[in-house]
Amino acid sequence: MFHESVIVCFVAIAALSSAAPPPPPSSSPSGEWWRDSFIYQVYPRSFKDSNGDGIGDLNGVTSKLDYFVDLNISAFWLSPIFKSPMVDFGYDISNFTAIDPIFGTTNDFKKLTTEAHARGLKVILDWVPNHSSDEHPWFEKSIKKIKPYDDYYVWKDAKIINGTRHPPNNWLSIFLGSAWEWNDKRQQYYLHQFAIKQPDLNFRNAALRKEMEDALVFWVKNGADGFRIDSIPYVYEDAQFRDEPIVPNSGKPADDPATLKHIYTIDQIETYQLVQAWRNAIDSLGGEKKILMTEAYTSLPNTVKYYEYGSNVPFNFMFVTGLNNHSTALDFKRSIDGWINNIPKGGNYIANWVVDNHDNPRVTTRFGSLRADQNSMLAAVLPGLGVIYNGDEIGMEGLQLSWKQTVDPQGCNAGPERYASLSRDGERTPFQWDTTTSAGFSTSNITWLPVNPNYKTLNLAAQKNVPKSHYGIFKKLVALKSSEIIKSGELQVILATDKVLGVVRRLPNTTPIVLLINFSNDAIQIDASAWMNIPSNMSVYTSSVSSNISLGAHLDTTSLKLNGASAVILA
């Protein structure tokens, strides 16, 4: 989950929290199958519809497993598939151990994991611990104060001012407005840091913690190879429920969370301890190692601290929220160096690079279609793990929907004047497989979100056998990711000029791997050999669609021409 007002750019480097973390992991990374690979995010509603109802489902994903094999990714993770009223399209869960009928059944999930494992693929589930749906039986019992559920959610008495009822404090929801909602039956307010129909769970309650831990274990026993933990910084709040400080002159409406400094509603130390408890519970099951990935839009120090509490992949969102089409080569260098330099020392922690996700405008929207391949190329050449969102591998573009077409609650809550900048529908449109009905996503002409009209020319089938296509390039990037020079080679991030960023990976007695990105919209000619200490003649491993550089071409790096907004990898 995401709201742009709570982003903290990764460029700023600060001291890590003084809270004492647990000891670092063992020096052996044995069994960490996710290393030096790409993980692929699937948004199930929009990936493949198997039954013609216009909504993607688990059997649709199963039917496309060979596509993942062809890409050679290590794993895919599924946005929420649990039982839900779908107010927030699966992020409002009414049963943490059941599959929603929209997506299929538990048997369909077991079939998916069985067939995925047979192909050497891992399956990661999206875990949403901060809240449930208000239609969860726990919440219904909590309203009635039935034990032990009476304390499963965060309830507070009203604040009475001049005889008038007010929320307990000034906390604001990510979806705009007060984070508190009055319940007439219980005669108290409940906390909802997201939608009104998503009441926050109370993790200070031991019984609730056990329920959620048991649900994680349930899915591991049913085939899950790990979890992406949603919105983890929000799970605990200040125990004293103090008002948050007001941001002076924010320029935002009073109902916008950007008007507050979030020091009491996110990043509490108990949150990290909870992740460590989940790590321990999953590890205690034995068997092959399971991955934990944590989604935290927070400061760099707070993000990397998750490494020390059991997260294998504390999502690095610098390409998603910290940088954009106005960022310079220097901005990219500073951000990359900042992340690499702040990964904790003394363990086998690996970097990660999130190219895109379902909560933010697509990379083609944020950086422009000419730079569609750029961040995937960076994720491939930089050390560690790459994370890509379905559709990015073919250069899918965001779609601007009308107010009447908007279904995302974050956009709907913003109203017709503000929805365009807050709705996440544009990046969630159906995957464009081919030129048939609804881009091959569904046999129905009506889909839950409209298909982007550009599917007639922008689709997988059109790119499948074209080496110089987004798809062809991405396949080469995945293959490069697992090479020894990327796994263990020396890293240099270099400003080749003020407009050109260079990344070099080196191993002794081996031709280096060199990535060059032109951040200017104009063509540039540089002596990359002198600036980057690379051979004067190198071959093109791959290049961005916009580069006009042929794959396999031999280039003179002493006089290298790069088109505007283009990128090339040399070997």
pLDDT tens per residue across span 529-568:
999 999 999 999 999 999 999 999 999 999 999 999 999 9
Q: Cα separation of 179 and 185, whole Å?
A: 19
Q: Which of 230, 331, 397, 408 is catalytic?
A: 230
pLDDT of residue 19: 41
Q: Which two tokens stand for residue 270?
A: 């108990």
Distances (CA, A) of 113 to 66, 122, 421, 538: 13, 8, 37, 43
Q: Phi and psi (nearest 5°) for 479?
A: -65, -40
Determine the Cα–Cα distance for residues 163 and 185; give it in Å rounded to an integer.
Answer: 20
Stretch 126-131: mean pLDDT: 98
Per the structure block, which two tokens stand in for 420? 């365009």
Distances in whole angstroms, Cα of residue 339 to Cα of each of 12, 319, 382:
10, 12, 11
- pLDDT exceeds 90 at position 204: yes
Average pLDDT over residues 450-457: 98
Question: For the purposes of burial, counting CB atoms within 10 Å of the CB of 185, is it exposed (0-12), middle (13-18) or buried (19 or more)?
Answer: exposed
What pLDDT sits at residue 1?
56
| Stretch among 30-34, 287-291, 487-491 having the lowest mean pLDDT | 30-34
75, 288 in Cβ contact below 8 A? no
Annotated catalytic residue within 57, 225, 237, 295: 295
The pLDDT value given to residue 199? 98
At residue 346 the predicted structure's pLDDT band, cuts being 50, 70 and 90, is: confident
Q: Average of pLDDT values for 126-135?
A: 98
Mean pLDDT (the chain, rounded): 94
Written as six digits, the tokens of 32 are 């960490």
**What confidence score (pLDDT) does residue 3 get?**
44
**Beta carbons of 50 and 63 less than 8 angstroms apart:** yes
Q: Coil, strand, or helix at residue 454? A: helix
Q: What is the token pair recorded at 54?
A: 């216009």
On the CB side of 406, CA atoms within 13 Å amount to 21
Domains of the chain with CATH codes:
4-129+206-401+431-463 (3.20.20.80), 137-191 (3.90.400.10), 489-570 (2.60.40.1180)
For this structure, is 230 an active site residue? yes
Sign (positive or negative) of CA dihedral 92, 116, 59, 387: positive
Helix (H) or strand (E) run with residue 554 in it: strand 554-556
Q: 254 pLDDT band (50/70/90 cuts)?
A: very high
- Residue 12 — very low, low, confident or very high, per pLDDT cuts 50/70/90? very low
Tokens coding 452: 């982007």
Instruction: For residue 337, indicate whether it is catalytic.
Output: no
What tens digit of pLDDT does each residue of 378-427 get? 999 999 999 999 999 999 999 999 999 999 999 998 999 999 999 999 99
Other Cβ atoms within 10 Å of 64 Cβ, number? 20
Q: Using the predicted structure, report yes or no on whether residue 332 has a pLDDT greater than 60.
A: yes
